[in-house]
Amino acid sequence: AARLGGGPVRCYEPSMGERADRRLALIRGFADAIADGSLTVHYQPTVSLEARTVLGVEALARWDHPELGALLPDEFVPVLEATGQITGLTLFVLDEAVAAARRWLDRGLRLSVAVNVSAGALDDSFPPSVAEALARHGVPPELLTLEVTESGVSAEREHAMPALRRLSVMGCRLAVDDFGTGQSSLAHLRRLPVDQVKIDKSFVLGMGTEAGDAAVVRAIVEMGHTLGLTVVAEGVEDGAVRVALAEMGCDVAQGYLVSRPLSAGHLDQWLDSLVR
Ligand code: C2E
Ligand code: CA
Ligand code: CA
Ligand code: CA
């Protein structure tokens, strides 16, 4: 634990027992979190690098745990994936995101919404759940993008293919997330019904300082366009990187430079500030 005074201040590092306790608190608290409103969805805008218009938002889960405080998905998503509770999270975020898309349509804003889907949630029951949510809220399927990580669609994950094909036939858009971090080959990507690649933010964040990262980004943009895909760069934090991406022909930017992920209410304010 952290100490003050005397020697050097040590960072707080939870013991193995404390980590196991946190894990249990997440597993046990998840069902209540949806019911009591401590699980919410934040939205981060994506913008066109050419036209500089807002194209849509990515839905990102947030959990304000009654005892543990504000939690980020990097902590709770792996736990929920391990327990099989990830489908519950995915369906909750999907419903919130599609409902939000409907509200924006009602205000005359045609924004697409992207939802992250773990490979474990991509079973045969998922496409019908998506169809049901879209129909219930009256949202056209082409406004929904499903983001699956590169490792989630790798050749070893054949089980996800039928669901991905079904979603594509329904008219939903598919994005390969965290691209560049896995080992999916060009040949494999061509076999998938994918519309978008999202370049992993680690490469985009390094573009300004690492020549190698800029080269990787350029190669992904070119490869993506060769395959007829829309290329998205995430983790765009500074203006010089944005300019470099636009020069490379990258299509879409997402990152703190444009906006942090915002609650639905704050996103509405942000959108209002653009319209005026
Ligand atoms: P991701 O899908 O790669 O989402 C992008 C992450 O990058 C988000 O972190 C976002 O807040 C962060 N980010 C956005 N712009 C910038 C930037 O300019 N600089 C930096 N340094 N970071 C930026 P977040 O919200 O903590 O989510 C982390 C990951 O958790 C997501 O990565 C996604 O894989 C997963 N996740 C989030 N929500 C869900 C969900 O509902 N279901 C599933 N299965 N996974 C989710
Ligand atoms: Ca994502
Ligand atoms: Ca990503
Ligand atoms: Ca990520």
Question: What spacing in Å lies between the alpha carbon of 106 and ligand 4's midpoint?
Answer: 31
- Can you give the pLDDT at residue 220? 94
pLDDT tens across the length of the chain (276 residues): 445 555 555 666 777 778 888 999 999 999 999 999 999 999 999 999 998 899 999 999 999 998 899 999 999 999 999 999 999 999 999 999 999 999 999 999 999 999 999 988 999 999 999 999 999 999 999 999 999 987 777 766 678 889 999 999 999 999 999 998 877 666 777 888 999 999 999 999 999 888 899 999 999 999 999 999 999 999 999 999 999 999 999 999 999 999 999 999 999 999 999 865
**Does any ligand 1 atom lie closer than 6 A to the CB of residue 46?**
no
- Can you give the pLDDT at residue 2? 46
Task: Report the distance separating Cα 180 and Cα 38, nearest Å.
Answer: 34
Write the residue with the smallest CA distance to atom 36 of ligand 1: 73
- Can you give the pLDDT at residue 155? 63
Is residue 115 within 8 Å of 122, Cβ to Cβ? no
Find all residues with CB under 8 Å of 72, minimum gap 6, and list them. Answer: 62
12: left (phi over 0), alpha (psi -120 to 50) or beta: beta
**Residue 255, helix vs strand vs coil:** coil
Find all residues with CB under 8 Å of 90, minimum gap 6, and list them. Answer: 115, 116, 117, 118, 121, 126
**Does any ligand 1 atom lie closer than 6 A to the CB of residue 95?**
no
Write the residue with the smallest CA distance to atom 10 of ligand 1: 261
**Does any ligand 1 atom lie closer than 6 A to the CB of residue 262?**
no
Question: What spacing in Å lies between the alpha carbon of 153 and ligand 3's midpoint?
Answer: 14
Farthest-apart Cα atoms in the chain, separation: 65
Read off the pTM.
0.93
Task: Report the distance separating Cα 7 and Cα 164, nearest Å.
Answer: 55
* Segment 36-39 long-range contacts (CB within 8 Å, at least 24 positions apart): 36/66, 38/63, 38/64, 38/65, 38/66, 39/63, 39/89, 39/92
- Can you give the pLDDT at residue 1? 45
**Does any ligand 1 atom lie closer than 6 A to the CB of residue 88?**
no
Ligand nearest to the CA of 199: 3
Closest by Cα among 52, 38, 58, 116 to 261: 58
Angle between helical axes of 86-106 and 16-36 (0-180°, round to 10) = 40
